[in-house]
């Protein structure tokens, strides 16, 4: 069969910008990625097209050494702090094992995440549980397994947790404070501002009132304050403001109740680059400036410097992951070229939720035609099921080709669904020229097994 390359098309008049230039190299790919002359792309010495052939598509590929290296980078940047990996970004047994071996703690949001980690061998005292609406099962599991900290998010949780702690025991808790700081890459992921569901407001006095209530519970030990400003934050300034405001509350707690809180958790939300040229948050720069601000703020308030806790998730696992898809159809309209792949919003809902942009590229062969502005669409029955818009792909892309999307390690599988009864993809780890499956593909048999009624 002879395939006629599509003619170059002008950019869509509604496109917000020109397509990014993929000649900028592999800056947003794992450090081990190598673009071979024949167009094949390897990660950790393993060709992505070989993984696609062996495991099918869509498939997530996770570079183990990249994950471990990013864990070490945070440990080096924050030697006097506790670094907790935010499991909501992505969690499986192998990843929990890597994180534990690299000396990090864990931040979980449910009994499911907690049980998986502990049954893998993760020390429960190095795990922190938070969430704005913890279920009774979440709390029972946390207390049964001996979780290190529970972060209180609402007044109702104070009495609920205290009542569940066995007589003669004590549970360490923190209070999640809403400091009134708006930060993050999209309005839907800004969690430190007023008027949203998370935490206890510093401005209206709810946080200070909660401090008093927790201190009045003999089965609870308040170890510190917690905040999480949002996600995809790429500047240090919001964290510095948070330090000042939370130290202010710590000083008031000392003055009113004679209690000096020993811990301060600044959460995570550290931004990564999804496309070449995107801004990123550098852990070393963040660590230095936060440390200076914390020392100065505590000195001004007459407080000892508390133990700092941070919770990176995306910044550790996001850039270590790659999603590989197979092209199913190519369609040219008067305005644009659509390349439809065998995945979409069921394995990556973020473009539909937040308008996130990615930089997919053709792999497995070198395109011979001129690049054209292309929309990479998913397979699902939604007009918004688009993985990438206005990206430059060779005009000779055809059904059967493979596309790879970098920075797919965070909030892809963890947010995936079985929409249209399409099973969730597998996860394959790569390291030193070898690959191994971590999470198997969700099959039609899995989906049918859950349907027990008639």
Tell me whether residue 180 is exposed, middle or buried, using C-beta atoms within 10 angstroms of its C-beta: 0 to 12, 13 to 18, 19 or more: middle
Which tokens in the block code for residue 196?
A: 């949203």
CA nearest neighbour of 425 among 331, 337, 329, 322: 322
220: enclosing H helix or E strand: strand 220-226
Judging by DSSP bridges, how do beta strands 386-394 and 371-377 pair with one another? Answer: antiparallel
Q: How far apart are CA 241 and CA 202, in angstroms?
A: 13
Binding residue numbers for pyridoxal 5'-phosphate:
269, 311-314, 411
CA nearest neighbour of 325 among 60, 28, 44, 47: 60
CB 99 within 8 A of CB 120: no
Q: How far apart are CA 359 and CA 278, in angstroms?
A: 11
Binding residue numbers:
269, 311-314, 350, 354, 382, 411
CA 248 to chain centre: 29
Binding residue numbers for substrate:
314, 350, 354, 382, 411
Expressed in angstroms, the distance from the first to the final Cα of the chain is 47
CB 17 within 8 A of CB 406: no
| Residue 381 known to be catalytic | yes
Question: What's the Cα-to-Cα distance from 196 to each of 6, 190, 219, 245, 309, rounded to whole Å?
Answer: 47, 9, 29, 18, 23
Q: Which of 71, 227, 298, 381 is catalytic?
A: 381
Residues annotated as catalytic (active site), given as ranges: 381
């Amino acid at each position: 069969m002879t395939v006629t390359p599509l003619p170059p098309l002008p950019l869509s008049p509604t496109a917000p910008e020109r397509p990014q230039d993929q000649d900028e190299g592999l800056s947003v790919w794992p450090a081990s990625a190598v673009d071979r002359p024949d167009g094949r792309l390897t990660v950790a010495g393993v060709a992505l097209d070989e993984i696609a052939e062996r495991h099918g598509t869509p498939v997530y590929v996770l570079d183990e050494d990249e994950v471990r290296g990013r864990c070490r980078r945070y440990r080096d940047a924050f030697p006097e702090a506790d670094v907790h990996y935010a499991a909501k970004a992505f969690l499986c047994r192998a990843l929990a094992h890597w994180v534990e071996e690299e000396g990090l703690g864990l931040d979980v949001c449910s009994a499911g995440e907690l049980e998986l980690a502990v049954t893998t061998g993760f020390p429960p005292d190095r795990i922190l549980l938070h969430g704005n609406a913890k279920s009774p099962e979440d709390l029972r599991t946390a207390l049964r397994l001996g979780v290190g900290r529970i972060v209180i998010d609402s007044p109702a949780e104070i009495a609920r947790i205290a009542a569940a702690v066995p007589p003669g025991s004590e549970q360490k808790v923190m209070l999640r404070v809403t400091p009134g700081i708006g930060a993050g890459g999209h309005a839907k992921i800004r969690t430190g501002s007023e008027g949203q569901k998370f935490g206890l407001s510093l401005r209206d006095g709810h946080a200070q009132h909660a401090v008093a209530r927790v201190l009045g519970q003999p089965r609870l030990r308040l170890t510190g304050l917690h905040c999480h400003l949002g996600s995809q934050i790429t500047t240090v300034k919001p964290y510095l403001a948070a330090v000042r405001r939370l130290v202010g509350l710590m000083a008031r707690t000392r003055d009113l109740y004679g209690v000096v809180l020993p811990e301060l958790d600044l959460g995570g939300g550290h931004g990564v680059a999804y496309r070449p040229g995107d801004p990123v948050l550098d852990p070393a720069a963040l660590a230095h400036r936060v440390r200076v601000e914390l020392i100065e703020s505590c000195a001004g308030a007459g407080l000892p410097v508390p133990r700092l806790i941070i919770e990176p998730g995306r910044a550790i696992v996001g850039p270590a992951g790659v999603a590989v898809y197979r092209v199913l159809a190519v369609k040219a309209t008067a305005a644009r070229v659509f390349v439809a792949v065998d995945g979409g919003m069921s394995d990556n809902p973020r473009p539909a939720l937040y308008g996130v942009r990615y930089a997919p590229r053709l792999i497995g062969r070198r395109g011979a035609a001129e690049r054209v502005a292309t929309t990479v669409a998913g397979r699902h029955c939604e007009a918004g099921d688009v993985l990438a818009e206005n990206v430059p792909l060779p005009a000779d892309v055809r059904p059967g080709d493979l596309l790879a999307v970098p920075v797919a390690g965070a909030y892809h599988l963890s947010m995936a669904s079985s929409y249209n009864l399409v099973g969730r993809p597998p996860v394959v780890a790569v390291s030193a020229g070898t690959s191994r499956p971590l999470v198997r593909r969700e099959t039609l048999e899995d989906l049918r097994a859950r349907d027990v009624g008639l």
